[in-house]
Amino acid sequence: MTGKSGQRPQNEHGPSNAHRAEVFLSYEAVVDRLEDAAKQLRGASVLHREGLAILRLGTESAPDINDGRPEVWLQGGLHACEWIGPAVVLRLMDELIRSTELRRRAIWYLLPVVDARGYQRTWAGERFLRTTENGENPNLNFPYRWGEAPPLLSRLLGSRLRGWMGSRPASVGCVKSLVSELKSLTNLQLFLDFHGFGRLWLYPWCHSKKPSPHHMEHKAACATAVAAANRVAGRFGYRAQAAAFTEVPMGGSCIDFVYREIGCAHSYAVELPPSLPWGGVIGATLLGALRGDPKRWWREGQAPTAEVGIEAGDEMAAALSALVDHLFGGTPAATEGDERPAEAVSSAFA
């Protein structure tokens, strides 16, 4: 929280000024960071799967086999323009490199950028591209309750909405690849999908305002994560709610698919900083329209400063550690040979 001086507390593992320009990286630089991490830790590898680059942190003795530990999946970049998501996933990667204790709690999968082609286009001049190269919204294309939307919204948007959903479930290339990878997991117990922006911790359902079967577990886990993040964020606090209450209920979302079809009870989407503007989406859009630019607030939210990206990483590192404690309990025994000497570890956030 903020101290008497009004300043945020400094994370001892936070980035130095020299590295702040490296918070938001091109896709090629993101993949390089994954490859570097895989070289630093025994049992780590980068999986290249049909357009996805995934860092897997396992153990030296069985790098490609789950040894019974829970699996955790961290991802960003489902929407190409949301650069803060990949930055936070890389920050959490650094935390896992540094913290042997946290790393040993699970088998980890880190996918900083889901829509790689779209992300590359945002670095080539289309900074605020949110859809895929074919105009689909990947977060409406997952094969659970695909195509469902409120009737009024369907009538108002018509073919435009259908275009965002895609021609069929998992018709989007990156979604198809992601679905295949997630289905290959055998013990997925925590899934975090990082987005920008609004400072919200969202749980299922996305397609319905009815409580999910794990509603109470979702609320308890989210309360733990939000409390930990807010101790770092101070007055710029997160809050938790069911995803369907954020805008309108929609089918085809990633977290609903992971929750219902993959069977991962703790499937969450996190809307990272900055906060939504005063007056919310409607108020900000109306005010912008009066000033001749109704989407200015949205573009500003999708282009946070490096400092905001750094702070988001610190907040999510605290939230992840607290959530893992909440879900998985005590610390496991050391696994022989699963790490290299500490001096071999380097990080853009060191």
List residues bridging with 201 in a β-sheet: 240, 270
Q: Please report, in tens digits, the pLDDT of each residue of the chain (350 residues total).
A: 344 333 444 444 444 433 445 899 999 999 999 999 999 999 999 999 999 999 999 865 455 566 789 999 999 999 999 999 999 999 999 999 999 999 999 999 999 999 999 999 999 999 999 999 899 999 999 999 999 999 999 999 999 999 999 999 999 999 999 999 999 999 999 999 999 999 999 999 999 999 999 999 999 999 999 999 999 998 768 999 999 998 899 999 999 999 999 999 999 999 999 998 887 777 888 888 888 988 999 999 999 999 999 999 999 999 999 999 999 986 554 444 444 433 333 333 33
Q: Determine how many CB atoms are found less than 10 A away from the CB of residue 74.
A: 26
Residue 4 belongs to a domain: no
Coil/strand/helix, residue 79: coil
Instruction: Give pTM, 2 decimals.
Output: 0.88
Q: Determine how many CB atoms are found less than 10 A away from the CB of residue 264.
A: 23
Residue 349 belongs to a domain: no
Residue 7 belongs to a domain: no
Residue 306 belongs to a domain: yes
Q: Determine how many CB atoms are found less than 10 A away from the CB of residue 114.
A: 26
Residue 340 belongs to a domain: yes
Rounded (10°) CA dihedral 1, 92, 130, 289: 10
Residue 1 belongs to a domain: no
Residue 301 belongs to a domain: yes
Total structural domains in the chain? 1
CATH number of the structural domain spanning residue 191: 3.40.630.10
Range list of β-strands (E), 7-153: 44-49, 52-57, 71-75, 107-111
Which residue segment(s) compose the domain that 79 sits in?
Answer: 17-344
Range list of β-strands (E), 213-264: 239-242
Residue 11 belongs to a domain: no
